[in-house]
Amino acid sequence: MIYPVLTAEEAAQFVKNGMNVGVSGFTAPGCPKKVPAAIAAKARREHEEGREFKVNIFSGASTNDPTDGELSRAQALNYRTPYQSLGELRNHINAGEVHYNDRHLSELAQEFRYGYYGKMDVAIVEVQSITDDGELLLGTAVGNTPTWLQVAEKVIIEINDQLPDTIRGLHDIYVPLDPPARREIPIYRASDRAGKPTAHVDPKKVLGVVRTSEPLGLVSKFTPVDDVTRKIGENVCDFLVNEMRQGRMPKSFLPIQSGVGNIANAVLDALEHSDEIPPFEMYTEVVQDSVLKLLESGHCKFASTCSMTFSREAMMEFFSKPELHDKLLMRPSEISNNPEVIRRIGVVSMNTAIEADLFGNINSSHVSGTRLMNGIGGSGDFTRNAYTSIFLCPSIKKDDCISTIVPMVSHVDHTGHSVDIIVTDQGVADLRFKDPIQGAEEIIEHAAHPVYRPLLREYLKLCKKNGHILMNHDIALAFHSTLGKTGDMRKTDFAQILEKLA
């Protein structure tokens, strides 16, 4: 091997205060595991000696504890994009200590190439192996790595010996040219290959190689399906079966995008147990343990993803079954989430909402409009281009204190123009064809919890009637305001607020 072998500490010395640093991976899988923590340790030493030391981290999506955790604990993060999901970083962001820019995941790579973020000083990339001519066999996610390898001035490689040889062939690395030279992305089915099994880096840019031996698949397992999530899953399944019966969905079905978490899990579970849903493909950004089950049972014929977000157990199982390896491909997030492909192949998108409003607007990211939960992630990429866009949430949270259906969302990630269907444990609100007021009635009757229906109806009655959309500026956010003051949205008293403001 022509590359110098470095310790993580030696590699971290190349990273200076204020640098733009790209990291491999997408969600925890595929992220570097040693060098970011060494950068955090360096930051602590610099801070102790009274020097400034912070970096800007550009990732595929969320990362792992050695990256977002260690760096935020060390106060070493200045800027962070495009997504995160780690409690500790979240707290730093909400405290205003880290500049976080919440971006559509399909767009960061091209925006970096366009020059919107300046230069990338260094990229840190986990791989299974690297050849002397710069061919990289990546790990358990792709993310923005292929673009970081192009744009970064220098590259640090982590070779993780826990990554098996048999990962070869699971990646499809394709980076589009930029306008005006861009061509079509040659993907017409979830299983199509557009690129190469390896990524490439100019060997001259490689500062060195850090050897690691870090376990894979440290994604936590989700809690089992419960009554509420089971009901949501069944409602989605019933809806899709009816779409097929009505001829609005091809009998061969269409590729599914499904997010992470308990609700996505319950939906996949319901699809698996349906007699009427045929075996289907997935075109998605993450595959969790439930997808492994679907691949094994044959209910999922093929999964195109950006990341293998399996638990350790599922990861070991996948790698022990080579017969599954031609049923899965990992792509760069620019491709897994690409509007061109999503619209062309007709992806059915399913994402979780924090809250939805009467006019179909969705908040995916900010609790009460202020506190970042995770971020918009890929939900905008998929929703905006889906064949049918579906949002999922329980109708109530924290016992009955929070209604996920509100008069007006406190933050908009997806506008009603792009949202077809809202599913809760209460039922399915179908917003297609309807005007905003018809949509509001549909949402109250089919998605809202019965406890909140009278309040939601009262809100509509208190709106001025001279508009295409109903709204009363004085009480549009009263659910949130009341929750903030009393901890219970049920205590919302519209009449009292209007009286006070009269």
Contact between residue 121 and residue 100 where contact means Cβ atoms under 8 Å apart: no
- Binder to a second copy among 244, 437, 460, 462 (CB under 8 A)? 437
- Which CB, 76 or 254, lies closer to a second copy? 254
Q: At closest approach, how far in Å is the CB of 417 from a second copy?
A: 6
φ, ψ at 300 (rounded to 5°): -105, 120
Residue 481 lies near a second copy (rule: CB under 8 A):
yes
**Residues from 288 through 327 that contact a second copy (CB under 8 A):** none
Q: Which stretch binds a second copy (CB under 8 A): 257-265, 320-328, 381-389, 397-405?
A: 381-389
Residue 346 lies near a second copy (rule: CB under 8 A):
yes
Q: Which stretch binds a second copy (CB under 8 A): 289-297, 320-328, 440-448, 494-502?
A: 494-502
- Which CB, 49 or 499, lies closer to a second copy? 499
- Binder to a second copy among 154, 369, 401, 462 (CB under 8 A)? 369
Residue 369 Cα distances to 112, 355, 363, 373, 405, angstroms = 28, 10, 8, 10, 14
- Which CB, 222 or 253, lies closer to a second copy? 253
- Binder to a second copy among 469, 488, 490, 493 (CB under 8 A)? 469
Q: At closest approach, how far in Å is the CB of 253 from a second copy?
A: 9
Q: Which stretch binds a second copy (CB under 8 A): 42-50, 219-227, 234-242, 248-256?
A: 248-256
Structure-token pair, residue 38: 């060494």
Report the alpha-carbon distance of residue 112 to residue 478 in Å, rounded: 40
Residue 238 lies near a second copy (rule: CB under 8 A):
no
Residue 116 lies near a second copy (rule: CB under 8 A):
yes
Contact between residue 288 and residue 260 where contact means Cβ atoms under 8 Å apart: yes
Identify the three-state secondary structure at position 119.
coil
- Binder to a second copy among 218, 412, 460, 462 (CB under 8 A)? 412
**Residues from 171 through 200 that contact a second copy (CB under 8 A):** 178-180, 182-186, 188-189
Residue 117 lies near a second copy (rule: CB under 8 A):
yes
Query: What is the DSSP code string of 339-401?
Result: HHHHHHHT-EEEEE-SEEETTS-EE-SEETTTEE-S--TTHHHHHTT-SEEEEE--SEETTTT
Q: At closest approach, how far in Å is the CB of 151 from a second copy?
A: 13
Report the alpha-carbon distance of residue 291 to residue 267 in Å, rounded: 11
Q: At closest approach, how far in Å is the CB of 294 from a second copy?
A: 19
φ, ψ at 198 (rounded to 5°): -125, 160
- Binder to a second copy among 171, 299, 327, 366 (CB under 8 A)? 366
Residue 491 lies near a second copy (rule: CB under 8 A):
no
Only one residue has tokens 């996949």, namely: 268
Residue 433 lies near a second copy (rule: CB under 8 A):
yes
- Which CB, 21 or 266, lies closer to a second copy? 21
φ, ψ at 170 (rounded to 5°): -85, -10
Query: Which residues are annotated as catalytic?
Result: 285
Residue 465 lies near a second copy (rule: CB under 8 A):
yes
User: Other C-beta atoms within 10 Å of 245: how many?
Assistant: 11
Residue 340 lies near a second copy (rule: CB under 8 A):
yes
Radius of gyration of the chain (CA): 23
User: Exposure of 97 by Cβ count < 10 A (0-12 exposed, 13-18 middle, 19+ buried)?
Assistant: middle
Structure-token pair, residue 119: 């230069």
Question: Which residues, in sequence order, are CB contacts of 85 under 8 Å at separation 6+?
Answer: 27, 61, 62, 374, 375
Residue 466 lies near a second copy (rule: CB under 8 A):
yes
- Which CB, 202 or 435, lies closer to a second copy? 435
- Is the previous residue joined to 29 through a cis bond, with omega within 30 degrees of 0? no
User: How many chain residues bind a second copy (CB under 8 A)?
Assistant: 84
- Which CB, 65 or 334, lies closer to a second copy? 334
CA atoms within 13 Å, Cβ hemisphere of 157: 31
Q: Which stretch binds a second copy (CB under 8 A): 124-132, 196-204, 316-324, 377-385?
A: 377-385
Residue 339 lies near a second copy (rule: CB under 8 A):
yes
- Which CB, 220 or 466, lies closer to a second copy? 466
DSSP 332: B
- Binder to a second copy among 411, 427, 428, 452 (CB under 8 A)? 411
Residue 295 Cα distances to 177, 268, 272, 300, 302, angstroms = 33, 11, 10, 5, 7
DSSP 82: S
DSSP 3: S
**Residues from 51 through 110 that contact a second copy (CB under 8 A):** 79, 93-96, 99-104
- Binder to a second copy among 368, 397, 401, 488 (CB under 8 A)? 368
Residue 401 lies near a second copy (rule: CB under 8 A):
no
Q: At closest approach, how far in Å is the CB of 309 from a second copy?
A: 23
Amino acid at 449: H
Residue 269 lies near a second copy (rule: CB under 8 A):
no
Residue 166 lies near a second copy (rule: CB under 8 A):
no
Report the alpha-carbon distance of residue 260 to residue 264 in Å, rounded: 6
- Binder to a second copy among 196, 432, 461, 491 (CB under 8 A)? 432
